Amino acid sequence: MPCVFCGGSPVTKEHVFPQWLNQYLPPGPQRTEQARYGAGAFDVTRQSVGLDFTVRKVCAPCNSGWMSELEGSSKEALEPRIIRQDLDLISLRQQRKIALWATKTAMMADQVQLEPLLPSHQLRRMRTHQAIPGGTRVWLGSCPERNPTVTSQTVRIDLSGVSRERRDTART
């Protein structure tokens, strides 16, 4: 199997989440849940220590090259916010680093799936241009709890076929 970012081979084991994040997680075994979608979908709950998801879909030059550089530069922007959990302004440069890191991490999480959703040209563009796919939004938040209950809900309302006047009313 060739590298999903450059097409090179052989591929190496890549951590979906950086291992430096584990120092900020509760110590000891944790319950890890993983869901796979698409054909052959399933949910798995298992014991793990830290964020130990790995994939074999990235070559050594990508893994230890541009991905490692992105990891290092984003750590500089992320770690102070993880440690302090203060609400502060983040420079545009740091916002971009964090957004690139989050997108790369989401791309790696997608590779855990049996049938990844992202097309290969978007992964290649991440490597060559450090470009986030169009239409992608990255949100950053803070929570002072060590074990927060996190929920997320996305609602999409299809307004096609609705008159312009009703559309404007629905948005307010």
Name the residue ranges covered by the structural domains of the chain. Answer: 11-171
What pLDDT, on a 0 to 100 scale, did the predictor assign at position 10? 95
Closest CA to 67 of 31, 111, 114: 111
- The three-class DSSP label of residue 39 is coil
Q: How far apart are CA 22 and CA 50, in angstroms?
A: 5
- State how beta strands 54-59 and 11-15 pair: antiparallel
- Check: CB of residue 46 under 8 Å from CB of residue 53: no
What pLDDT, on a 0 to 100 scale, did the predictor assign at position 105? 92
Measured CA to CA in angstroms, residue 108 lies from 4, 27, 102, 118 at distances of 10, 24, 10, 10
The model's pLDDT over 87-106, given as tens digits with 9 standing for 90+, comes to 677 888 888 899 999 999 99
* Residue 69 pLDDT > 70: yes
- For residue 58, the cross-strand partners are 12
- Check: CB of residue 56 under 8 Å from CB of residue 2: no
The model's pLDDT over 28-43, given as tens digits with 9 standing for 90+, comes to 777 666 665 566 655 6
Closest CA to 63 of 11, 118, 101, 110: 11
Q: How far apart are CA 136 and CA 114, in angstroms?
A: 22
Closest CA to 61 of 101, 8, 136, 124: 8
